Amino acid sequence: MGMNLVQKIISSHLVEGKMSSGSEIGIRMDQTLIHDATGQMALLQYEAIGAGRVKTKRSLTYADHNTLQVSFENMDDHHFLASASRKFGLYYSRVGNGICHQVNLERFSAPGQTLLGADSHTTTAGGVGMLAIGVGGLDVAVAMAGEPFHLMMPEVTNIRLTGFLLPWSSAKDVALEILRRLTVSGGRGKILEFSGEGVKTLSATERATIANMSIETGAITAIFPSDENTRRYFVAQDRLQDWTEVAADPGAVYDGETLVDLSKIQPLMARPHSPDNVVPVTAETGKKIHQIAIGSCTNSSLEDMFRVAAILKGKLVPPGVSLIIAPGSRQVLRGLIDSGALADMIAAGARLVETTCGFCNGVGQAPRSGGISLRTSNRNFPGRSGTPDANLYLVSPETAAASAVAGAITDPRTLGEPVRVHLPKKFFVDDRMIVPPASEGETVEILRGPNIPPLPQFGPLPDELEGELLLVLGDNVTTDDIVPAGANILKLRSNVPAISEYVFQNIDPSFPSRAKASGTGFLLGGRNYGQGSSREHAALCPRYLGVRAVIAESFARIHKSNLINFGILPLELKNPADRSAFRPGDKLCLANLRSLIGRGSIIPIQNLTQGKTVETRLNVTSRLAQILLAGGLLAYARAKLAGKQ
């Protein structure tokens, strides 16, 4: 029986476990990436593990999220990241070099290899046949120390593409169509593997756009085969030596299949406030808009930017509309300059911003109050733009540019003749903004500014937890809800005591003080708790404030791992109707925990206020149970590595 591509890569990287569904496996990670929102913690944790230089084939740190430098913290963090990277053997991509996923695709991706990144959109590299998974920073730290990455053997869904995209439909529309079908939770526990004739019609960066947004379905990742188109991309990057052909075996078997006929895809958009709120662009045409933001790791390739420039050429953005363009990398920016396309953008009134995440995670370019912003990014959660009552629509670069010119939501098909773009045979290649690590034995001092206090220490799990139910939440709570993005909060990513003051800031600003006063606290969520970004601060900060268990109907994958990594129990309600047994402020007690914890074990929660007991399930493997008992992954990994020495 033939293997699918996911199985082939897993089998060539398998270090622990059996490749059968329901089993935990450990796989070797070839590459890792972290950035200036997740890397501070990852490197502090790596230092605490005490593993010396990184053990991967290549590990990278990117400065791309926190670049606005409204005060000293960002620069302090960058000096910390650069010096710690040099010391521990990581490459460091300097501010200005571009967004991690775009640069990684251009310069470091490798078909058939594995990549673990402390960012949910690490999946982007799946566009060129990498098995690329987003996780919390602590998981990356452990992988850098040479330990395998553990996950449950995933189900693999075959997304079979037929046909070809019609003029004005784009890869972003394919991603939105998949989200329309799967919703923000339909991909949980799965890897989406693309196959079929339609794959050949998509360029490497178009595939990367689709792989990027696959994470919004809750999937572990997505992957495309690496073929002639991929090869062309590697040739253009002057990296033919890193290219290999990878594909599923003939007759490969999958756990499920979804057919997508590319020829039937029309321009789509995700309405506020969720990426799966997908409708045809025609459903909103004519609506006045205030801002258009083009860029982010989803749509910032040279191909995307050329299309935008071609639409803008000779036009002018009308008054009252602000057009922001953030090319994904220095390479893309240089391509725009050399081709003259940048001049077309600027002449049309576009505002060029840095080659960073920027507007995508609320670091600048907040829309006007109540404003309507069309964005080519991947998340339109409430408040993420920095304006609490703004309405964000997610669209393709073509729809964004067509709408920018009209000042209203516009179906790009109304522009008539489709734009044709010609990509250079060779991109501008210049890796001088990527600083290599120090040579072995060289002394490097780690630079720590006042924004980098020591890591908080957490003890083992006690046998009994008694405390207050601090917050009752609904379905699909995002990590942006738990620890919001935005320049003023992001700058505190290395300072746990300071950033913890912002936990649930947009939902209940009194949360941090109430949590501290309670000493031990609990949270109640609904379905898909913790969807969205990989930020481990959404677990670490609640833990710092005393949260010891989250009770929910179900959890998003990355967040569940992060909770466990910081010693918080992710407890699933056995019976969802039991939600009604809880009120905010109830006193809860979890007894005999140390003996109850084990695979699939039932943990009863006594609601002392309501006089009821509710059963929950702790759905973890025995390894994860050990991590919880130890008080988190850091303590567990330290002990494990010390045992090996």
Q: Using CA atoms, how far apart are residues 276 and 326, in angstroms rounded to an integer?
A: 24
- Per CB under 6 A, 451 contacts ligand MIC: no
User: What would the x/- binding string for ligand SF4 be over residues 277 to 306, using CB under 6 A?
Assistant: -------------------xx---------
- Per CB under 6 A, 217 contacts ligand SF4: no
What are the φ and ψ backbone dihedral angles of 481, each rounded to 5 degrees? -70, -35
For 490, the 3-state DSSP assignment is helix
- Per CB under 6 A, 121 contacts ligand MIC: yes
Among 179, 260, 360, 538, binds ligand SF4 (CB under 6 A): 360
| Choices 302-310, 333-341, 357-365, 418-426 (CB under 6 A): range interacting with ligand SF4 | 357-365
Residue 99 interaction partner, one of ligand MIC, ligand SF4, none, beta carbon < 5-8 Å per kind: ligand SF4
Helical pair 633-644 and 137-144, crossing angle rounded to 10 deg: 10
| Residue 61, Ramachandran bin (φ over 0: left; ψ between -120 and 50: alpha; else beta) | beta
Q: Using CA atoms, how far apart are residues 389 and 164, in angstroms rounded to an integer?
A: 38
Q: Are 290 and 318 in contact (CB under 8 A)?
A: no
Residue 81 CB, nearest approach to ligand SF4 (Å): 16
User: What would the x/- binding string for ligand SF4 be over residues 541 to 560, using CB under 6 A?
Assistant: --------------------
By C-beta, is 485 or 545 nearer to ligand SF4?
485
Residue 485 CB, nearest approach to ligand MIC (Å): 6
Residue 367 CB, nearest approach to ligand MIC (Å): 17
Q: Are 93 and 63 in contact (CB under 8 A)?
A: yes
- Per CB under 6 A, 361 contacts ligand MIC: yes
Tell which residue, 32, 279, 10, has the closest CA to residue 153: 10
Residues β-bridged to residue 612? 607
Size of the site for ligand SF4 (CB under 6 A): 11
Q: Using CA atoms, how far apart are residues 239 and 229, in angstroms rounded to an integer?
A: 14
| Choices 141-149, 356-364, 487-495, 584-592 (CB under 6 A): range interacting with ligand SF4 | 356-364
What are the φ and ψ backbone dihedral angles of 278, each rounded to 5 degrees? -95, 130
User: What would the x/- binding string for ligand MIC be over residues 572 to 591, using CB under 6 A?
Assistant: --------------------
Q: Using CA atoms, how far apart are residues 561 and 571, in angstroms rounded to an integer?
A: 12
Q: Residue 431, class by beta-carbon neighbours within 10 Å (0-12 exposed, 13-18 middle, 19+ buried)?
A: middle
Q: List strand residue ranges (DSSP E) for 239-388, in order.
A: 256-261, 268-270, 278-280, 291-294, 322-325, 351-352, 372-375
Residue 467 CB, nearest approach to ligand SF4 (Å): 33
Among 119, 284, 344, 468, binds ligand MIC (CB under 6 A): 119
Residue 268 interaction partner, one of ligand MIC, ligand SF4, none, beta carbon < 5-8 Å per kind: none
- Interaction with ligand MIC in 503-542: which residues (CB under 6 A)? 533-535
- Per CB under 6 A, 60 contacts ligand SF4: no
Q: Which residues bind ligand MIC (CB under 6 A)?
A: 37-38, 65, 119-121, 134, 361, 485, 533-535
Per CB under 6 A, residues contacting ligand SF4 are 65, 99, 119, 121, 296-297, 357, 360-361, 377-378
